[in-house]
Amino acid sequence: MLINKQDITTLILAGGKSSRMGGNDKGLIKINDEYIMSELIEISEKFTNSVILNINRNKDIYKKFKIKLISDLHVNFQGPLAGIYSGMTEAKTKYILILPCDCPMISDIFFKDILKDNFKDKIRCAHDGNRLQPVHALIDRSMVSNLKVFLDSGERKIDKWYNQEKLEIIDFSNNPQFFMNINTPEDLEKYKLEKMKDDN
């Protein structure tokens, strides 16, 4: 059984500087004239009540996705926790599912595992078999005040915040491809090759 869809908002993080992509906005990457973000939004809507997109630039372009857009409440690209805090403040559901904008290999299996209804802690995070994947996480929105205190203290490291809380880890070692990021132009070419294999 899964957590009730109506109790979950997906927050897609697209607010970073994309330095390794030469400053090109990773949330607006296209392959064959299709935004990879579109597939991520579509699959998120299948499993959760609504989708919020955290951005800090290119708002006019992002409007075409026709979903709720928010910007960081903390200015100057403060990292993923700033985006997560802004999303937790905006969402109305009990839980918020965090995803990065550049994870095009995610499938139904990911959602079915991370959204299982036996969630007893406050943070549930994916692990790829080698390391924690901190921006693939389910967070109880009651943690918003706790996160505000953490950010107000000057802290920005997502792993540090997780480690000071009771964390449930979900093992995805059988599906490490879910966490393939597009951080560089080389990553983008690698993904295009993988997609061509899947399509053939």
Q: Find the CATH number of the domain harbouring 48.
A: 3.90.550.10
Q: What is the pLDDT of residue 200?
A: 57
Q: How confident is the model over 56-104, as pLDDT tens digits?
A: 888 899 999 999 999 887 655 578 999 999 999 999 999 999 999 988 8
Q: What is the pLDDT of residue 19?
A: 47
**DSSP result, the chain:** -B--GGGEEEEEEE-S--GGGTT--GGG-EETTEEHHHHHHHHHHHHSSEEEEEESS-HHHHGGG-SEEE--SSTTT--HHHHHHHHHHH--SSEEEEEETT-TT--HHHHHHHTBS---SSEEEEE-SSSEEEEEEEEEGGGHHHHHHHHHTT---HHHHHHTS-EEEEE-TT-GGGG----SHHHHHHHHHHHHHHH-
Q: How confident is the model over 6-60, as pLDDT tens digits?
A: 999 999 998 765 544 455 687 888 878 888 889 999 999 999 999 999 998 888 9
Q: What is the pLDDT of residue 139?
A: 98
Q: What is the pLDDT of residue 173?
A: 98
Q: What range defines the domain where residue 72 resides?
A: 5-199
Q: How confident is the model over 188-200, as pLDDT tens digits?
A: 777 777 666 666 5
What total number of domains does the chain contain? 1
Q: What is the pLDDT of residue 21?
A: 47
| Phi and psi, residue 68, nearest 5° | -65, 130
Q: How confident is the model over 126-155, as pLDDT tens digits?
A: 999 999 999 999 999 999 999 999 999 999
In this structure, which amino acid lies at residue 68?
Answer: K
Whole-prediction pTM:
0.91
Residues making up the chain, counted from first to last: 200
